[in-house]
Amino acid sequence: MLFSTAPVSQQPLMFWGWALGVPFLGWCVLSFARVLLYLGKQHAADGWDEAREYDLLQRVRQGRRALDVLSVSLRTALRKPDESPAAQLDALLGGVKALKAQPARRDSVTLRHSRLAGDVNEDPEPALLRTLGQLFTELVPSLKQLPDETPLAVLLEVESGLLDRAWGRVWQRAWRDSGIRQKFVVLEGSGLHAVDQWLDERSDDQALLLVIAVHFAPKQPEATGEVVVGLLLGNRLMQTTLPPVAVLHRPELEQQPSTEALHYAVTQALNWGPVDATSVRHVWRAGIEAQRHAAINTVLGAVPMSVTRDQGIQDLDTWLGYSGKAAPWLAIAAATHTMQGGAGPQFIFSGGGCADAGLWSTAMTPVLSLSK
C-alpha cells in the first residue's frame, strides 16, 4: 500500500485486511505453536508420572514379597524329648519360665540359664546330635514329598561352645542320618538380613530355604537359653506341593536405635503384610536388651496393637534366656506354632542381644487370612 498510487482512504478493505489479517494470522501461528509445545510437555510429564507410578508399584510389590513357612521344628528347655510341640507352646503362651539356677553343661557350675532336656553330665556332642536328630525327624516328612532334584539352600546360624571341628562332625552326622535326599548349598549371610536379601534376589527361585539355628552350650551360659530351631521356607506361588502353615513377610530393620526409627520400622513391617495393627494379639520379643523395652512399649501404644504390657507380649528372653543368633528364628518358630493353633497375625521384635544394635520388626500371618 505504500507504493500504491491510490490513497489509503480509497482502499479501506485492503488496509484493514493487512492491518488485522496479518497480525491475526501471526497470532494463530504462535498459538498453534504454543499448543504443540504444551501438548509435548504434558505428554512428557504424563510419561514421567506413569514411570514413577510404575516404579512405585514395582517397589511396593518387591517390598511385599513374602516366604511361606512350610515346616517348623522348635526345641527349647520347655520341651521334653517325648512331648509334642503343643505342650511347649502352652508353656510359652502361659509364661512358664525355664530360666533358673542349675548346673551348666560345660563345667557343672550352678548358673541361671535354661538348658535343653537331658543329662547334664552327657557329653555335648552326642547331646546336640540327638537334638538335631529330633529336629530333622519333624522336618524330613515335608522334604520327602518334594522331588529329589529340588534345590535346597541351608542357612546355618550356630553359636556353640563346641569347637568348629566338633560342630562339623555333629552336623555331617545329623544330616547323613536324616535321610534327606536333596542336595544343598550353604547360604551366605546371617539373620534376617539373609531373608531380606533372599526376597530381593531370589523371589522367583524354585529353591527352598532351610534355616537351622542352634544356640547350645555357650561359653558364658549365665542368663542364656539353649535353643535348636528348624524352619523350611519357600517362595510364594513357586511351589504347590507343600501346603504352607504360615506366611513370613519382609522384615524391616530400624535405621538407628531410637523410638522414632523403631516406630517407622514397625509401621513399614505392618505395611509389607499388609496387616491391620489391631488384629495383632501376640507380640514376640527375643534377643533384646532391657534398655529397649521402653521404646517397644511406646511404639506398641502408638501403633496400636491389641496387646498390653500384661497380656499379649511374649518375652522369650525372660522365659528362656538370651539365645544369640537363634533369637529371631526362635520367635518365628514360636509364632508359627501359635498360628497353627488357630491364632491370627503375629508380630516379632528381635535383635542380636546388643543394646546398640538395630531391632528387626517382622509381621507374620496365617495362610487362611490371606485367602479371604
Report yes or no on 135 lying in a domain.
yes
Could you tell me the end-to-end alpha-carbon distance of the chain, in angstroms, rounded to an integer? 84
Over residues 280-329, the pLDDT tens digits come to: 999 999 999 988 999 999 999 899 898 877 788 999 999 999 999 999 99
Of 316, 313, 122, residue with least CA distance to 215: 316
The pLDDT assigned to 183 comes to 92
Report yes or no on 349 lying in a domain.
yes
The pLDDT assigned to 369 comes to 45
Same domain, 48 and 164: no
Q: How far apart are CA 149 and CA 132, in angstroms?
A: 24
Q: How far apart are CA 356 and CA 303, in angstroms?
A: 23
3-state SS class at 328: helix
Range of the domain at 175: 66-246
What are the counts of helices (DSSP H) followed by strands (DSSP E) for the chain? 11, 13
Same domain, 154 and 124: yes
Same domain, 240 and 135: yes
Q: How far apart are CA 212 and CA 338, in angstroms?
A: 20
Same domain, 331 and 182: no
Same domain, 97 and 239: yes
| Residues in the chain with pLDDT values less than 70 | 1-16, 352-356, 368-372
The pLDDT assigned to 372 comes to 37
Cβ(271)–Cβ(260) below 8 Å: no
Is the pTM for the entire model greater than 0.85?
yes
The pLDDT assigned to 370 comes to 41
Give 225's contacts (C-beta < 8 A, 6+ positions apart). 76, 77, 98, 99, 113, 114, 115, 215, 316, 320, 321, 322, 323
Same domain, 77 and 209: yes
Q: How far apart are CA 190 and CA 212, in angstroms?
A: 11
Structural domains of the chain, count: 3
- How many C-beta atoms surround the C-beta of residue 285 within 10 A? 22
Same domain, 239 and 252: no
Domain CATH number, residue 255: 3.40.47.10
Same domain, 74 and 90: yes
Cβ(331)–Cβ(348) below 8 Å: yes
- How many C-beta atoms surround the C-beta of residue 294 within 10 A? 10
Q: How far apart are CA 292 and CA 270, in angstroms?
A: 20
